């Protein structure tokens, strides 16, 4: 399964969902595929699920999507226990698990290339709707299908290592510009002024 193909399928379903990505290939690919104002392209690993969880709790009427990687989730395994107990119904997490630290440029294997099963860990942490997806048809039925369900979804998508993200242009919006675009979009669609922005 190729990550870019999964993201293209996901992009076709975007309406008013909010999408938080961690730093790595899916951030670059998602930024190329989707120009949605509800994209928050975080520039770091290990933070996307936490930020997405906070958004989901603050905006329970909005569907929030986290796009993360195996290396990033391994940095923040505490998220599994918290999600397993909070179970925000409006959050869907996609982990694109290629089994390598691709950004290292030496394709050094992550723990998921060995004995570690993130979906099993998530289920043991209390996330009942957690599973591993290996085929694009399964991604479409189970993964995309979760966007219309009222339950926390956690999908470990086993993908081939792809170097496509190195061939496409990186996003040209910096973190601050992305943040303000994102918050302005939320203000507009939620119909209120957020404390973060305030008045000058």
Q: How far is the C-alpha of 181 from the C-alpha of 187, rounded, in Å?
A: 10
CB of 137: closest distance to another protein in angstroms? 32
Q: How far is the C-alpha of 168 from the C-alpha of 32, rounded, in Å?
A: 8
CB 92 within 8 A of CB 79: no
Give the β-pairing of 153-158 and 91-97: parallel
For residue 133, report the phi and psi dihedrals to the nearest 5 degrees.
-120, 130
163 touches another protein (CB under 8 A): no
55 touches another protein (CB under 8 A): yes
Choosing from 54, 89, 128, 163, the residue that interacts with another protein (CB under 8 A) is: 54
**Residue in the block written with tokens 């669609």:** 189
43 touches another protein (CB under 8 A): yes
Tokens representing 109?
A: 């294997």
Choosing from 7, 19, 40, 65, the residue that interacts with another protein (CB under 8 A) is: 40
Task: Give the length of the chain.
Answer: 200
Stretch that binds another protein, among 74-82, 126-134, 143-151, 162-170 (CB under 8 A): 74-82
Q: Which residues are near another protein by CB under 8 A? A: 20, 40, 42-44, 46-47, 49-59, 76, 78-79, 81-82, 85-86, 175-176, 179, 182-183, 186-187, 190, 192, 194-196, 198
């Amino acid at each position: 399964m190729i990550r870019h193909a999964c993201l293209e399928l996901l992009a076709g379903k975007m309406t008013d969902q909010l999408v938080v990505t961690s730093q790595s290939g899916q951030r670059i690919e998602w930024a190329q595929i989707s120009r949605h104002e509800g994209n928050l392209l975080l520039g770091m690993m290990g933070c996307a699920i936490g930020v997405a969880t906070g958004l989901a709790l603050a905006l329970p009427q909005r569907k929030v999507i986290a796009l993360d990687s195996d290396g990033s989730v391994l940095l923040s395994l505490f998220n599994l226990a918290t999600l397993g107990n909070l179970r925000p119904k409006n959050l869907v997490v996609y982990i694109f698990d290629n089994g390598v630290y691709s950004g290292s440029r030496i394709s050094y294997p992550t723990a998921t290339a060995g004995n570690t099963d993130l979906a099993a860990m998530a289920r043991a942490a209390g996330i009942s709707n957690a599973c591993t997806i290996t085929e694009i048809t399964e991604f479409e039925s189970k993964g995309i299908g979760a966007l219309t369900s009222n339950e926390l979804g956690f999908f470990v998508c086993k993908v081939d290592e792809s170097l496509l993200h190195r061939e496409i242009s990186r996003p040209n919006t910096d973190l601050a510009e992305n943040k303000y675009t994102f918050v302005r979009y939320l203000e507009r669609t939620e119909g209120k002024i957020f404390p973060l922005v305030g008045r000058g």
